[in-house]
Amino acid sequence: MTALLNLGRMVMLLWVAFALVFLFRPSLVNLQPNPTSAIIQAVAAFCLGHLIERALGALRRREAETAQTGHI
């Protein structure tokens, strides 16, 4: 589960980077300038990345509690 969440974090980071390139240099990705779409993509990717971070934090806390109590 941790590996999947880390993979999701990496994908969200790439999505944010793409959205920023799309916003500031759309010619690099061979697309027409569309700042509204780029902003929406950047905000959506950032929000999903934040949710993944929270889920990963909760998972790590649960694993730490399990390790502390000694139960598997």
pLDDT in tens, 24-55: 988 888 888 888 998 999 999 999 989 999 99
d(CA 16, CA 9): 11
Is residue 61 scored above 70 in pLDDT? yes
Average pLDDT in the chain: 89
Closest CA to 43 of 70, 12, 69: 12
Is residue 72 scored above 70 in pLDDT? no
